[in-house]
Amino acid sequence: MTVSYTWVQWNKHKKIYDLIMLALSLIFVATFILTSTLVYKDDEAISAMILAIRAFGILAIILLHIILCIGPLTRITPLMSPILYNRRHLGVMMFFAALIHAGLALLFYGAFGVRSPFAGLFDGYHAYTSISGFPFEIMGLFALLILFVMASTSHDFWLAFLTPCLWKSLHMLVYLAYAFVLLHVVFGALQSERHPALATALIAGAVTVFALHIVSGLKEFKPSLQAQEADAPWIDIGLVNDFPMDQGRVVCIANQERVAIFRHNDGISALSNVCAHQAGPLGEGRIVNGCVTCPWHGYQYHADNGQSPPPYTERIPTYELRIEGERVLLNPQPNPPGTPVTPAVRSSEPSSDEVGET
Query: C-beta of 21: minimal distance to ligand FES in Å?
Result: 20
Burial of residue 296 (number of CB atoms within 10 Å: 0-12, 13-18, 19+): buried
Of 21, 33, 102, 182, the residue at the interface with ligand HEM (CB under 6 A) is 102
290 CB contacts (<8 Å, ≥6 apart)?
264
How many residues interact with ligand FES (rule CB under 6 A)?
9
Identify which of residues 21 and 181 has a Cβ nearer to ligand HEM in the complex. 181
Q: Name the DSSP letter for residue 345.
A: -
Of 1, 49, 50, 80, the residue at the interface with ligand HEM (CB under 6 A) is 50
Count of beta carbons in the 10 Å neighbourhood of residue 75: 21
Q: How far is CA 135 from the centre of its chain?
A: 31
Phi-psi region of 306 (alpha: psi -120 to 50; beta: other; left: phi over 0): left
Identify which of residues 141 and 250 has a Cβ nearer to ligand FES in the complex. 250
Cα–Cα distances in Å, from 314 out to 6, 65, 306? Answer: 20, 33, 8
CA dihedral (223, 224, 229, 233) in degrees, to 10, reads 180
Query: C-beta of 210: minimal distance to ligand HEM in Å?
Result: 18
Helix (H) or strand (E) holding 322, with range, is strand 321-324
Under the criterion CB under 6 A, does residue 87 sit at the interface with ligand FES?
A: no
Instruction: Please measure the distance between the N-terminal and C-terminal CA atoms of the chain and give it in whole angstroms.
Output: 33
- Of 19-27, 97-105, 124-132, 330-338, the segment contacting ligand HEM by CB under 6 A is 97-105
Residues 33 and 48 sit within 8 Å (Cβ to Cβ): yes
Identify which of residues 21 and 61 has a Cβ nearer to ligand HEM in the complex. 61
Which option in ligand HEM, ligand FES, none does residue 143 bind, with CB closer than 5 to 8 A by kind? ligand HEM
Under the criterion CB under 6 A, does residue 88 sit at the interface with ligand FES?
A: no
305 CB contacts (<8 Å, ≥6 apart)?
318, 338, 339, 340, 341
Q: Name the DSSP letter for residue 284.
A: G
Query: C-beta of 281: minimal distance to ligand FES in Å?
Result: 8
Which option in ligand FES, ligand HEM, none does residue 275 bind, with CB closer than 5 to 8 A by kind? ligand FES
Query: C-beta of 249: minimal distance to ligand HEM in Å?
Result: 35
Show contacts with ligand HEM in window 117-156 (CB under 6 A).
137, 140-141, 143-144
Under the criterion CB under 6 A, does residue 185 sit at the interface with ligand HEM?
A: yes
Under the criterion CB under 6 A, does residue 184 sit at the interface with ligand HEM?
A: yes
Residues 164 and 294 sit within 8 Å (Cβ to Cβ): no
Under the criterion CB under 6 A, does residue 277 sit at the interface with ligand FES?
A: yes
Provide the binding-site residues for ligand FES, judged by CB under 6 A.
Answer: 275, 277-278, 280, 294, 296-299
Provide the binding-site residues for ligand HEM, judged by CB under 6 A.
Answer: 50, 53-54, 57-58, 60-61, 64, 98, 101-102, 105-106, 109, 137, 140-141, 143-144, 181, 184-185, 188-189, 198
